[in-house]
Amino acid sequence: MKHLVLDTNVLVIILSKRSAYHWLLQDVLNGAYHLSLTTEILLEYEEVLSAKYHRSIAQTFIASLVDLPNVHLINIYFRWNLITIDPDDNKFVDCAIAAGADVLITEDGHFDVLKKLSFPIMPVASLEEFSMDKESETLTKK
């Protein structure tokens, strides 16, 4: 089972039932993937979702997400500071590295710097890239 970290922009995209990528949220909710979060990530999720939806809806969603057995709250003990363009994005990188995540999914180009590093190795994918990987895995299993 793949272990993921989702950037906030990805969470916003996959929330809508009209999104072509809503399947990812459903898969997380159904336990198809492990999802790692930190307190900092949860606070950003809540802030962004509260601006888009009602605060109580955002809080209920966050509480439900954290209660899932495949969602793991990670403590960060080392800050890598790998993204200098937008240092606020480092919370996702630090979480992914600390959790040993298989992939960090984002639609933010700031994370492209990770693709050029030889260490630490942190695979980054857009929703489209992750979807194509899932599709190719499915075809391989047939």
| Domain residue extents for the chain | 3-141
Q: State residue 1's pLDDT score.
A: 86
Beta-bridge mates of residue 35: 4, 71
Evaluate if residue 140 carries a pLDDT over 80: no
pLDDT in tens, 67-114: 999 999 999 999 998 898 999 999 999 999 999 999 999 999 999 889
Evaluate if residue 135 carries a pLDDT over 80: no
The one-letter amino acid at 51 = A
Token pair for 53: 């939806």
Q: With cut-offs at 50, 70 and 90, classify the pLDDT of residue 138.
A: low
Q: Which residues does 134 contact at the CB level (< 8 Å), separation at least 6?
A: none
- 42 and 91 Cβ atoms separated by less than 8 Å: no
Residue-wise DSSP of 37-89: E-HHHHHHHHHHHHHHS-HHHHHHHHHHHHTSTTEEE-----------SSGGG
Alpha-carbon distance of 33 to 114, in angstroms, equals 22
Mean residue pLDDT of the chain comes to 93
pTM: 0.91
- 54 and 84 Cβ atoms separated by less than 8 Å: no
> Which sign, positive or negative, has the C-alpha torsion 14, 16, 19, 24?
positive
What CATH code would you report for 3-141?
A: 3.40.50.1010
The one-letter amino acid at 23 = W
Q: State residue 136's pLDDT score.
A: 65
Cα dihedral angle (42, 46, 49, 55), rounded to 10 degrees? 160
